[in-house]
Structure formats: C-alpha cells, structure tokens
Amino acid sequence: MRDKGEFLFTSESVSEGHPDKVADRISDTVLDAFLEADPYSRVACETLVTTNLIVLAGETRGPETVTPELLAHLARMAVHDIGYDQAGFSWKHAKVEVHLHAQSADIALGVDAAGNKDEGAGDQGMMFGYACRETPELMPAPIYYAHLILRRISELRKNRDPLVAGLLPDAKSQVTLRYVDGRPVGATSVVVSTQHVEGLEQAEIKRMLWPIVESSLPKGWMCPEAEFYVNPTGKFVIGGPDGDCGLTGRKIIVDTYGGAAPHGGGAFSGKDPTKVDRSAAYACRYLAKNVVAAGLADRCTIQVSYAIGISKPLSVYFDLHGTGKDVDEDRLSKVVQDLVNLSPRGIREHLHLNRPIYAVTSAYGHFGRTPDEERGTFTWERTDLVPELRRAFGR
C-alpha cells in the first residue's frame, strides 16, 4: 500500500457462518481436541462442508482417546455454536465423515527432534508479518473495520437482539477507505451481504445494518447512503454450506491483512504449530507489531523462510517502508533474532502455542485481536518486547 498521494483501498471479511469459515472452525476444533489431549500432537486437518455433509480429512498423530466419534460430535457442536439448524445444513442432521489417518513417517522424520537435531519446520515456504499505525490495534484499517462490522452483527444475532431479527449466520462485508498522504480518512463505500429468512426485504435489512456499520467506523467515516450496498442481488436466503461448498484455508487474505501486506500463501486453520505456515506467520506479526509499538517505525513488514526438516530460518527480512525512526533494518533483524528464537520450537515455546487456543482464531482474523491472558489466546498480539527493543535502540 502506498504511503503518499490520495487513493482508495478495499478489504473484505466473511462471517463465521461463511462456508469456508465453517470449514476453518471445524478444522481448528479438531486441532484443539488433539492439543487438549496431548500438547505435542501433530495435526493437519482439512474440512469440506456442503449440503448436510461435513467431511474431515488429513493427517494426525495423537492419543487414541481422540476418536472419530468424538471428532464428529465436536464438529456438530462447532456448527451448533455458529448457528446452523436449517433444512440444507443442520448441526443435528448433517452427515459427518472422518477420514483422518496417521501422519507421514517421512514428514515426522524431518520434523521430530532426535539426538543433536532440533525440531525441524513442518514444511518449506515463506511467511510474512505486518503492522502499521492505522488503528490502535496496529492493523490496516480496511480489514480491521470489515471484521468489526461482521463481529458486531454476529454478537447481536447470537444474543437474539431484535435489531437483527431475521438475519442468519452467513455474511460478507467489504470496506473501501479513502487515503490521503497514506492515512485513512473515511469510507467511500461499504458492502454487506447477509443471509436472512424468507420475506425480509432488502430495504428493511439496510435499515437494520446502517446504525451497526456507522457505529463500527470512526466518527464521521460513514459512506454516503448511496454507496452503502446491502445484499446487492436483492435476496440472500439460501446460504452457508447449502448455498456454496466450503473448504479449509480458502480465506487467507481475510485471515491476515486484507491485501495490505504480502502473504506467503499458506493457510492457518487445522495446522499444529510445527507447521510454520501458521506459527511463523504468528511470530512475524508479533515481531512487526512490537517494532511499531516500540516507536521504531510507523510500518513494518517481516518475511521469514524455512526448509522442511530444518530448524533455523533460511532468511529473515525487515522492511520499514521508509518510516524507520533512525533504525537500521539489518541491525533490527539481528536484535530481534537475539530476542526471539525463530526456530519452530523457539516460536512454539515463546508464544505458548501448544495449547487448545485455535478455534477462536478461525473467524474475524488471526491478527488485531485482544490477547486473553487467562485463556492464553492471541499471544502473538502482545507487545511485551517493546521495553527491550527500546533499550536496544536507546529510546
């Protein structure tokens, strides 16, 4: 994203009831079940959801107490929590198939620690992290507000608030912001598409949603009424997995920075923390956020790369986008790597990732969320490195 001139930038979000997010939620519920039973379980779970069918597939290594019957039950409970009890997709009546099998011995050989060999990365690839000053959460504003709109609609729906009576779980949002000299100043358009019961008119849904969207944006940021688009096709009754097949890992830009920063390509949900697609992306966000929170830069992008079976990252790259405050990026990279061990084991231990903390990450973004010390969630959103970073650079 540019830091000069005037331009428009758009990001989208999808609700927990979107078919792909239903799949992500179930995959992360499976992961949590294994980690609850054994913190060192290995899980790579993919989920497919369609009309009254849930299919789990992938590779696992964990206790025999985590049975297919238990996982089928937990998948139903995840769907129940989202709110699906419709003719075409119901937590009660959907068929659940579990096709999980043992993790490949070849992969395990590369990942497992043995003798003098540290734990290796569960796959090759590159991962990115990003932070900026556009919101208090140090997230890009378009994706942050797109998430917030849908989160508030979901909370009202689950609390049976009459303000959203008749709205159903599947929903999408899209927020376009105008930037002046690299800073967001207001929304030029907002799109919200939400599933609803038969008979609820488009104009009525628009009246419902206007105050929710307006209150989710900073004061004075609401777009003109003519640029507020609600269910643009006019009707959205058939939704969720009954309306569109859902798959784990298809919303990677929604999960991260809304297109405002690079993405390495790997999805997160259903993967245990030996998979650097997930854990290293969390570590990169953690480091980028701490750099910005420490006042060392206004924007920070970090890239790391790994080879399967190798513990140390092959590269660590910092880009402060010209916003660094008398900070040398090469020195910053060295300081950060002294503070945090970026091996898979180092990341897992530093961020306490071997815990059942993942189902809550499956919707409304993995980043820009509030850490919960009691539950141990979103540890990568902490800013506990700030004092050490400031000392290292004489601040």
pLDDT at 104: 65
Average pLDDT over residues 373-394: 95
Known binding residue 250? Answer is: yes
φ/ψ of residue 88, rounded to 5 = -90, -10
Residue 378: half-sphere exposure toward Cβ, Cα within 13 Å: 18
Known binding residue 103? Answer is: yes
Known binding residue 326? Answer is: no
The tens digit of pLDDT for each residue in 345-359 reads: 999 999 999 999 999
Structural domains for the chain: 6-14+141-238 (3.30.300.10), 125-133+276-392 (3.30.300.10)
CA distance 116 to 113: 8
Looking at the chain, list the stretches that DSSP marks H as alpha helix, in order from N- to C-terminal side: 19-37, 68-82, 105-111, 141-158, 202-216, 240-243, 252-255, 276-293, 329-339, 344-351, 386-392
Q: At CA 29, angle to CA 383 and CA 147, rounded to 5? A: 50
Known binding residue 236? Answer is: yes
Local confidence band at 198 (pLDDT 50, 70, 90 cut-offs)? very high
Known binding residue 158? Answer is: no
pLDDT at 106: 59
pLDDT at 118: 60
Known binding residue 378? Answer is: no
pLDDT at 121: 77
Known binding residue 244? Answer is: yes
Known binding residue 171? Answer is: yes
pLDDT averaged over the chain?
94
The tens digit of pLDDT for each residue in 302-338 reads: 999 999 888 899 999 999 999 999 999 999 999 999 9
Known binding residue 172? Answer is: yes
The answer to whether the CB of 169 falls within 8 A of the CB of 195 is yes
Residue 15 has pLDDT above 90, yes or no: yes
Residue 144 has pLDDT above 70, yes or no: yes
CA distance 244 to 256: 23
Q: How far apart are the first and last CA of the chain?
A: 28
Local confidence band at 124 (pLDDT 50, 70, 90 cut-offs)? confident
